[in-house]
Amino acid sequence: MLRTFLNAFRVADIRKKLLFTAGMLALYRVGAYIPAPGINVDAVEQISENFGGSNILGLLNTFSGGSLQRFAIFALGIMPYITASIMLQLLTVVIPSLDKLRKEGEVGQQKITQYTRYLTVGLAFGQSIGYVFLFRTFSTGSTAVVDSYTFGRVFVIVMSLTAGCVLLMWLGELITQRGIGNGISLMIFASIASRLPDGVSKWWTNPDQVFKVMMPFVAIAVIVAIVFMQEGQRRIPIQYAKRVVGRRMAGGGSTYLPLRVNMAGVIPVIFAASLMAFPPTVGQLINTGWAKDLSAFFNPSHWPYLIGECFFIIIFTYFYTAVTFNPVEQADNLKKYGGFIPGVRPGRPTAEFLDRILARLTFPGALYLAAVAALPTIMFNQTSANFYFGGTSILIVVGVALDTMKQLEAQLMMRNYEGFLK
């Protein structure tokens, strides 16, 4: 591992990309500590207990690297851009014009990216207004986050948060173009990794000795399981027929179509956590009897929340996999280029075969995501520990680390250096 890093830094091109990526991530972390204009930092620190890991605010605060807890200029993080990307990806299935753009190659993808940026600005603006009034709800007496909620003061704060989100979107695209790895994913990785020292401190100061001893082994086992499942795939053999081009025989040969066990990634977990965290969050904001009862029933430490989250994870996994992988389109592409699956007729039988295989693969993938997401709640209930073991966070961190390592390995293999994955 160390030798691979040294080889990467010996190549000037890769060294520049790594240093550029590190510089952009450092700039992102600096902005996470700069408060928005007109914000009372002391008041924000006094109400920070509302941002635990058990509600949607805690999830958003984790993805923003703690900047939401400080009401920094990067408090929105990169989540509005991710939400906009997911919405555009889902809308391509419903709106024929977007689906047509998707099939037009690079030109169509640039147009979709432009729409994603516009939608990001709108989502960031609306979310900024929501945060301002959310902090106003938490403020009581001397803990006023903003001195006076005048139109001018609120407008400055909202525009600062929106501009911060747009700046992060631009930095992420710069990392993708000039650095190593996917910029948006690396920003989320940096946000979650920045919370690691606090998590280690809570683990070390935990009075439960059994938890303190078992926690490292459980964490290693979960990481190994995530890597095993993330890299797991079913390889469908593909045979290409030979064609006569002029006087030469072209084509032929065999390859495979990789179908991943977890094709949906971490998106179903984020969807399910956001949906299930809505009732307890509403209970925090509304001081009525029915809202408090609803919040208590869907408390993240209780079984109704756990069962509902697992149910929605499985449903969203099937839904998102069906959106991202179209068996009919894959069968048509194989038929167009002269490819076929041995023992399966081209066309509709191939699409039915791929759909059947995909359904069987998606089920264990959905159960795996539900298990990783449910493990923190189960451990929290059994040990009463003060360290919330974030399964969603580990999923993102391990997935981003694997993808970045593969990209760096590809860069090294082009220069005949040995990569990470042997």
pLDDT digits (tens, 9 = 90+) for 238-249: 888 766 666 666
Top mean pLDDT of 62-66, 103-107, 207-211, 315-319 is at 315-319
Structural domain count of the chain: 2
In this predicted model, which residue has the larger pLDDT, 137 or 329? 329
C-beta atoms surrounding 160 within 10 Å: 21
314: CB partners within 8 A, 6+ apart: 268, 366, 367, 369, 370
Considering the domain boundaries, does residue 410 fall inside one?
A: no
Name which of 110-124, 308-322, 361-375, 377-391 the model is least confident about.
Answer: 377-391
Domain boundary among 194, 217, 248: 194
Tell me, yes or no, whether 44 lies in a domain.
Answer: yes
Residue 51 has pLDDT above 80, yes or no: no
Give the model's pLDDT for residue 32: 85
102 pLDDT tier (thresholds 50, 70, 90): confident
Tell me: do 110 and 215 sit in the same domain. Answer: no
Q: Do residues 291 and 280 touch, judged by C-beta distance below 8 A?
A: no
Residues 54 and 92 in one domain: yes
Domain CATH code at residue 42:
1.10.3370.10
Most confident of the following: 52-66, 197-211, 377-391: 197-211
Of the given ranges (290-294, 303-307, 308-312, 348-352), which has the lowest mean pLDDT? Answer: 290-294
Bridge-based pairing state of the strands 233-240 and 254-260 = antiparallel
Residue 333: both structure tokens together: 């592409």
Which pLDDT score is estimated for 414? Answer: 73
Q: How confident is the model at residue 54 (pLDDT cuts 50, 70, 90)?
A: very low
Choose between 317 and 133: higher pLDDT. Answer: 317
**Are 63 and 180 part of one and the same domain?**
yes
**pLDDT tens-digit series, residues 74-86:** 888 888 888 888 8
Residue 141 has what pLDDT? Answer: 55
The whole-number average pLDDT for the span 10-36 is: 87
Q: Are residues 329 and 213 in the same domain?
A: yes
The pLDDT of residue 121 is 92
In this structure, what are the phi and psi dihedrals at residue 72, rounded to the nearest 5 degrees?
-80, 175
Q: Is residue 12 part of a domain?
A: yes
**Do 123 and 251 have their domain in common?**
no
Confidence at residue 143, expressed as pLDDT on a 0 to 100 scale: 60
- Structure-block tokens of residue 340: 């076929």
Domain that holds residue 171: 1-194
The model's pLDDT over 249-274, given as tens digits with 9 standing for 90+, comes to 666 677 888 888 888 877 788 778 77
| Residue pair 280/300 in contact by the 8 Å Cβ criterion | yes
Q: Is 398 a member of any domain?
A: no
Domain boundary among 161, 194, 227: 194
Least-confidence region, from 175-179, 271-275, 285-289: 285-289
Using the predicted structure, report yes or no on whether residue 387 has a pLDDT greater than 70.
no
The answer to whether residue 305 is domain-embedded is: yes
pLDDT band (50, 70, 90) for residue 70: confident
Give the percent of the chain with pLDDT over 90: 6
Co-location of 179 and 244 in the same domain: no
End-to-end CA distance of the chain: 11
Confidence grade of residue 284 (pLDDT, cut at 50, 70, 90): low
Per residue, the 3-state secondary structure of the chain, as one string, reads: CHHHHHHHHHCHHHHHHHHHHHHHHHHHHHHCCCECCCCCHHHHHHCHHHCCCCCHHHHHHHHCCCCCCCCECCCCCCHHHHHHHHHHHHHHHHCHHHHHHHCCCHHHHHHHHHHHHHHHHHHHHHHHHHHHHHHHHHCCCCCCCCCCCCHHHHHHHHHHHHHHHHHHHHHHHHHHHHCCCCHHHHHHHHHHHHCHHHHHHHHHCCCCHHHHHHHHHHHHHHHHHHHHHHHCEEEEEEEECEEEECCEEEECCEEEEEEECCCCCCHHHHHHHHHHCHHHHHHHHCCCHHHHHHHHHCCCCCHHHHHHHHHHHHHHHHHHHHHHCCHHHHHHHHHHCCEECCCCCCCHHHHHHHHHHHHHHHHHHHHHHHHHHHHHHHHHHHHCCCCCCCHHHHHHHHHHHHHHHHHHHHHHHCCCCCCCCC
Report residue 139's pLDDT band, with 50, 70 and 90 as the boundaries. Answer: low
Is position 404 within any domain?
no
Assigned domain for 210 exists: yes
Are 226 and 130 in the same domain? no
140 with 229, same domain: the answer is no
Residue 350 lies in a domain: yes
Position 166 scores a pLDDT of 92
136 and 240 share a domain?
Answer: no
The C-alpha atoms of residue 236 and residue 234 are separated, in whole angstroms, by: 6
Decide: 187 and 78 in contact? Cβ < 8 Å.
yes
Residue 190 and residue 234 in one domain: no
pLDDT computed for residue 413 by the predictor = 76
Whole-number pLDDT of residue 174: 92
Quick check: 365 and 229 in contact, CB under 8 A?
yes
Question: Which of 194, 216, 248 is the endpoint of a domain?
Answer: 194
217 and 185 in a common domain? no
Q: Tell me which of 275 and 116 has the higher pLDDT.
A: 116
Q: Are residues 128 and 255 in the same domain?
A: no
Contacts of 313 by beta carbon, 8 Å cutoff, 6+ apart: 268, 269, 272, 366, 369, 370, 373
